[in-house]
Amino acid sequence: MSKEHIIYKITPGSIAQELEIEAGDVLVSINGNEIEDVFDYHYMVNDEYLEILIRKADGEEWELEIEKEYNEDLGIEFENGLMDDYKSCTNKCIFCFIDQMPPGMRETLYFKDDDSRLSFLQGNYVTLTNMKDKDLDRIIQYHMGPINISVQTTNPELRCMMLHNRFAGDALKKIDRLYEAGIQMNGQIVLCKGVNDGEELERSIRDLSKYLPYMESVSVVPVGLSKYREGLYPLEPFTKEDATQVIETIEKWQAKCMEEHDMHFIHASDEWYLLAERPLPEEDSYDGYLQLENGVGMLRLLMNEFAEALEDAKAEPGYKDEVMKVLNEELDGHHKVTLITGRLAAPFLRQMAADFMQEFPGYEVEVLDIRNDFFGEKITVSGLITAQDLIAQAKDKELGNTIAIPCNMLRSGERVFLDDQTVEDVENALQVPVIIVKSSGLALFEAMLGYEVED
């Protein structure tokens, strides 16, 4: 039975719009071939000449011939982004954060994905244990990349234990096939104290470096530990001394990889440097920020972009005069913005706020770091802050004219927090307007002026 791929949205000005393809239509085939999922679709639509079969809402079928540039998109979005069912994770990892979630949250938060197609589409990391030979063959056939891999360790026996899956060690052999086919990869190691650190981390870095240049980067991130760990594998938080040792191991291997491959390859997430109380590396240490989604270089990039935005504002003729004119004529000479963040980034935001206020006197920027009572104080990133913690800790504060929250506190594309409360709920509770700050230094600079950068 052929699959129904219902079209959800058409991009304005696209090829699909010109051909009068509409939301609600069904894509039946491309060049006579059934489309199994998004892998097939992305591979097939690359061609310069296409014959596609569309079934309209009234059942009429249209055969359309398309001539276009190679790799030019048709401008079609589907109801199901994968064009297939999502594959759930079959592992029981000792470090899984979803297992550390409290009961009673929305159902989708408990779904564990381990789908190689999400790796290609959204940058998700996959363990390879759920990847069948057919999936691997298609990745190689279509030369899809990058594939992001949750490695954790290259010790097969230890990987079986960490993932609680007897096939997890054998799954590492799939990396060999991807390497031999020249598929671009990135790796991730979630480090657990006393489990895959120390000599095991050395072994993993050594083994993974053999996959250069196709494995372009590997991040090392500390395990996140919430307060909901009853009955789970006993894991301990890392200390300052532990973090120093991890950084020294990584920097030693960075020097070796730079000498041999002209790439740093292995990267420590920002948390390690903050825990070790060491300065963040400079921009050129991040190889183009390949691991931002894992918190590798996120703070360095934000600080550099913010500094650039501040310098541009200072250099632009008349910019400061206009800003101060608005302040004095429209804002009564004083405007306060409160930046909401987690404890991890707070010291850096305070420094940027100080630099901003020195240049623009009369604009007050206060940084309020939220303690994570919902998941536990060991969780310090802004992306896991709930609306209830924000409201509870901000309600008695002088918040000023507006509060600014980073976009990663909200569900992607929506105005909803992790605990299902909305931006409007926060505004009503605090009686202060909320602006949402995109992930860039320029957006942060604009937020300090009280502006929300639109898409």
Which pLDDT band holds residue 122 (cuts at 50, 70, 90)?
low
What is the count of structural domains for the chain? Answer: 3
- Structural domain includes residue 367: yes
Average of per-residue pLDDT across 124-141 = 85
Cβ neighbors of 387 (< 8 A, separation 6 or more) are 417, 418, 419, 421, 422, 425, 426
273 and 308 housed in the same domain: no
117 and 252 housed in the same domain: yes
The range of the structural domain enclosing residue 259 comes to 98-295
Average of per-residue pLDDT across 322-334 = 88
The answer to whether residue 277 scores a pLDDT higher than 90 is yes
CATH number at residue 28: 2.30.42.10
Three-class DSSP labels, the chain: CCCCEEEEEECCCCHHHHCCCCCCCEEEEECCECCCCHHHHHHHCCCCEEEEEEECCCCCEEEEEEECCCCCCCCEEECCCCCCCCCECCCCCCCCCHHHCCCCCCHHHHCCECCHHHHHHHCCEECCCCCCHHHHHHHHHHCCCCEEEECCCCCHHHHHHHHCCCCHHHHCHHHHHHHHCCCCEEEEEEECCCCCCCHHHHHHHHHHHCCCCCEEEEEEEECCCCCCCCCCCCCCCCCHHHHHHHHHHHHHHHHHHHHHHCCCCEEECHHHHHHHCCCCCCHHHHCCCCCHHHCCCHHHHHHHHHHHHHHHHHHCCCHHHHHHHHHHHHCCCCEEEEEEEECCCHHHHHHHHHHHHHHCCCEEEEEEEECCCCCCCCCCCHHHCCHHHHHHHHCCCCCCCEEEEEHHHECCCCCEECCCCEHHHHHHHHCCCEEEECCCHHHHHHHHCCCCCCC
Which pLDDT score, from 0 to 100, does residue 110 have?
Answer: 46
Which pLDDT score, from 0 to 100, does residue 132 have?
Answer: 85
Strand partners, 217: 186
64 and 182 housed in the same domain: no
Q: What is the pTM of this model?
A: 0.82
Average of per-residue pLDDT across 96-112 = 68
409-450 pLDDT, tens digit per residue, is: 998 778 999 898 999 999 999 999 999 999 899 999 999 998
CA angle, 143 then 148 then 153, to 5°: 125
Three-class DSSP labels, 279-313: CCCCHHHHCCCCCHHHCCCHHHHHHHHHHHHHHHH
Which pLDDT score, from 0 to 100, does residue 43 have?
Answer: 79
- Structural domain includes residue 83: no
CA–CA dist 79, 348 (Å, integer): 40
Which pLDDT score, from 0 to 100, does residue 431 have?
Answer: 96
The answer to whether residue 304 scores a pLDDT higher than 80 is yes
The answer to whether residue 400 scores a pLDDT higher than 50 is yes
286 and 304 housed in the same domain: no
Average of per-residue pLDDT across 255-282 = 96
Average of per-residue pLDDT across 219-224 = 95
- Structural domain includes residue 88: no
Among the candidates 261, 295, 329, a domain finishes at 295
Which pLDDT score, from 0 to 100, does residue 157 have?
Answer: 97
Could you identify the residue written with the tokens 């699909």? 16
- Structural domain includes residue 207: yes
Which pLDDT score, from 0 to 100, does residue 1 have?
Answer: 44
CA–CA dist 293, 299 (Å, integer): 12
Among the candidates 295, 311, 346, a domain finishes at 295
261 and 182 housed in the same domain: yes
368 and 223 housed in the same domain: no
313 and 435 housed in the same domain: yes
384 or 3: which leads in pLDDT? 384
Q: Provide the mean pLDDT of the chain.
A: 89
CA torsion through residues 413, 422, 404, 269, sign: negative
Which pLDDT score, from 0 to 100, does residue 113 have?
Answer: 56
Are 50 and 33 in contact, with CB atoms under 8 Å apart?
no
- Structural domain includes residue 118: yes
Which pLDDT band holds residue 114 (cuts at 50, 70, 90)?
low
Cβ neighbors of 451 (< 8 A, separation 6 or more) are 435
Q: Which of 331, 335, 293, 303 shows the shortest CA–CA distance to 445?
A: 303
The answer to whether residue 125 scores a pLDDT higher than 60 is yes
258 and 150 housed in the same domain: yes
Which pLDDT score, from 0 to 100, does residue 86 have?
Answer: 59
364 and 415 housed in the same domain: yes
278 and 345 housed in the same domain: no
The answer to whether residue 84 scores a pLDDT higher than 80 is no
Average of per-residue pLDDT across 160-172 = 94
CA–CA dist 175, 127 (Å, integer): 11
The answer to whether residue 85 scores a pLDDT higher than 70 is no
Identity of the residue numbered 194: G
356 and 390 housed in the same domain: yes
- Structural domain includes residue 86: no
CATH number at residue 376: 3.40.50
Among the candidates 269, 295, 321, a domain finishes at 295
322 and 348 housed in the same domain: yes
CA–CA dist 355, 366 (Å, integer): 12
- Structural domain includes residue 454: no
- Structural domain includes residue 27: yes
183-208 pLDDT, tens digit per residue, is: 999 999 999 999 999 999 999 999 99
Q: What percentage of residues in the chain have a pLDDT greater than 90?
A: 64
